Every structure is written in structure tokens, then in C-alpha cells.
Amino acid sequence: MNGLKQKQSLYDSIGGEEGVRNLVEAFYDIVETNPDAKELHLLHLRGHGVAHSRIEQFNFLSGFLGGPQYYVQKYGHAHLREMHAHIPIGLNERDLWLACMAKAIHKVGLGGQAAEQLMRHFTRAAEDCRNAR
């Protein structure tokens, strides 16, 4: 390989398909059961519901983290702001989403550099979704 070390994707570093699925399931378990996440749960009910969100977040995150592009294959795009245009996302919603994701990352046992990279990517993505104050 000409002495170059191939960089592992975040998708692979968190366990590939199984790792992404575990993270999504932990996240939505928190959204559905944690009283602090009630507002986020209610927002998900305004769309197609949590079951649908579990599937589509898995599809999106797979590609977002460097794995298979399931969401793009299904819809032809992966524009976060467009996907979330039907719900108001302000600072509170953004921060609540990030707090729930941080809990999910911890719950599935990810730590160190992988957790830091995930939160950095998720923070940027959550800000991109913001469409309200």
C-alpha cells in the first residue's frame, strides 16, 4: 500500500452495521422512556412515528458515518434540513437531541476517540438541522 495506512471509517470503528443499529436502538429507547426526552418523543410523533425514525436513522447514519449509503439509495439524497423541515428545531430541540445521543453513546459502551468523533459529527449535523430559534 505504498506505506500509507488506510483510515478506518467511523462506521467501522463503532462496529459497522451492528454498532450503528445498537446506537440507534439505544437512542430511541431513551427518547421513548426518559422523561427528560418527552419533548423529543412528541416531535417524533408529529412525523411517521418512532418506529419509522428508528429505520430511517439507521439508514442515514450508516452512510453518514462512512458505511453503506442506504438512505441515499432509498431517497436519492441525504439533506438533513430538508428531512426535518416538517418540525421546528431550535436550540432546545438541538441540545435535547444531542443530550439523548450522548446518553446512547455511553449506553452502548462507546468511549474515547470514537465517542468524541461521533459527538463532533452529531453536533455539526444537529446544528445543520436547526430551522427555528
In a domain, 5, yes or no: no
Q: Is residue 10 part of a domain?
A: no
Find the mean pLDDT for residues 39-58: 90
Tell me what pLDDT residue 1 has. 45
In a domain? residue 86: yes
pTM of the model: 0.91
Q: What does each C-alpha distance from 31 to 55, 56, 74, 98 come to in angstroms?
A: 15, 15, 25, 11
Dump pLDDT digits (tens) for 61-109. 999 999 999 999 999 988 888 888 888 899 999 999 999 999 999 999 9
In the predicted model, what is the mean pLDDT of residues 110-115? 96
Domain that holds residue 84: 15-129
Q: 76: phi > 0 → left, psi -120 to 50 → alpha, else beta; which?
A: left
Tell me the pLDDT tens digit for each residue of 50-64.
999 999 999 999 999
Reported as a pLDDT band with limits 50, 70 and 90, residue 6 is low
6 located within any domain: no
Does the residue 4 lie in any domain? Answer: no
Judge whether 28 lies within some domain: yes
Residue 112 lies in a domain: yes
Specify the number of domains making up the chain: 1
CATH number at residue 124: 1.10.490.10
Assess if residue 121 is contained within a domain.
yes
Number of H helices, E strands in the chain: 8, 0
